[in-house]
Amino acid sequence: MRKVFNKTLVECARKDSRIHLVLADIGYGEIEPFARSFPERYMNCGVMEQNMTGVACGIAMEGNIAVTYSIANFPTLRCLEQIRNDVCYHNANVKIVIIGGGVSYGPLGISHHSTEDIAIMRALPNMVVLAPCDKREAEAATRAMLAYEGPVYFRCGYVGEKDIHHGTIDFQIGRSIEVEQGDDCCVIFSGPLGYEVQKAVLALREEGIRAQLISMHTIKPIDRGAIVRAAKETGNILTVEEHNLSGGLGSAVAEVLADEGCLDVRFKRMALPDVFVHEVGSQQWLRDQYGLGLEDVKREIRSLLAPATGT
């Protein structure tokens, strides 16, 4: 997904001279095309994420679009004060892009995990939060982010993510995408983990379980209408995300259900537990270790429907 993001960023920058890329000495192997094509709009601030964010805010306040870019939690947690006080308070046109959400950098340990980011970013006023699931959504999200006026947080995948969509998609900030139809329950996901979720949903068709599958690529502003419709049409909702259980997609969906009076729906959340993922291993291995594997999703869907079906 990062290749798609960088390719799309260059394409957009050719058409819009306001787009600047601001780095904290990372991203090599991907950012060179932008640096070569637009040297006057490329700035490497060194390993100083706080300074990177402040510089980006200044660039944006001069009428430009500033994109900060780094891996995992470096562009967020290291410079949260600058994001809050400089970017969000001034509603500056800064786009904060991370590469490798969740436990994408599993072999590098918790310093490189990004598992609390959605909770933190969606709590900031003026901030839009995007978490595309595959290359098609990543390209569309990049274009939508650059067209949007104001702060955006973009949680991009790392490498090797498999496509969920296989045709044209209608990507709009604040509007989810229905991936699979069904009326037994609704499974709502965000990010590349959705590929495993889709496999689970399709596998359960053989057991007679027809689950609706929704990609909630925008977590803020969230698609309240889609959530309410799913609650009323299916009565059963499961959220799945590669993020801490607290404050992420599941919490956002629960807030909508409570606000809209959908209190009779059966609702479950799948996410990383409220612990540090201290084991070291591949992203897929860590997902399996922490209950986010294919069989885990299938089991949770069956469990969600058990009271209604008696199975």
Residue 20 is part of which domain span?
2-156
Does residue 311 lie in a domain region? no
pLDDT higher than threshold 60 for residue 311: no
What pLDDT is attached to residue 309?
A: 46
**The total number of structural domains that make up the chain:** 2
Does residue 162 lie in a domain region? no
Residue ending a domain, among 97, 121, 156, is 156
Does residue 101 lie in a domain region? yes
pLDDT tens across 274-303, in order?
A: 999 999 999 999 999 999 999 999 999 999
Q: Does residue 144 share a domain with residue 16?
A: yes
| Closest listed residue to residue 252, CA positions, set 122, 84, 57 | 122
Instruction: Say if residues 130 and 218 touch (Cβ distance below 8 Å).
Output: yes
26: CATH: 3.40.50.970
236: CATH: 3.40.50.920
Local structure of 279: helix, strand or coil: coil
pLDDT tens across 63-87, in order?
A: 999 999 999 999 999 999 999 999 9
Q: What number is the average pLDDT over the span 7-34?
A: 95
pLDDT tens across 222-263, in order?
A: 999 999 999 999 999 999 999 999 999 999 999 999 999 999
Six-digit token pair at 2? 């990062």
**Percent of the chain with pLDDT strictly greater than 90:** 95
| pLDDT grade for 159, boundaries at 50, 70 and 90 | confident
What pLDDT is attached to residue 214?
A: 98
pLDDT higher than threshold 80 for residue 308: no
Q: Does residue 125 share a domain with residue 72?
A: yes
The reply to whether omega before 221 is within 30° of 0 (cis) is yes
Residue ending a domain, among 156, 188, 214, is 156
Q: Does residue 206 share a domain with residue 288?
A: yes
DSSP letter at 161 equals P
Mean pLDDT of the chain: 96
Does residue 61 lie in a domain region? yes
Q: What number is the average pLDDT over the span 130-142?
A: 97
What pLDDT is attached to residue 160?
A: 84
Q: What number is the average pLDDT over the span 148-164?
A: 94
List alpha helices for 101-214, DSSP H. Answer: 117-122, 135-147, 194-203
Instruction: Say if residues 70 and 117 touch (Cβ distance below 8 Å).
Output: no
What pLDDT is attached to residue 307?
A: 67
Q: What number is the average pLDDT over the span 209-216?
A: 98
Lowest mean pLDDT segment, chosen from 12-21, 160-169, 300-309: 300-309
What pLDDT is attached to residue 27?
A: 82
Exposure letters 72-109 (e unless 16+ CB within 10 A, then b): bbbbbebbbebbbebbbeeebbbbbbbbbbbbbbbeee
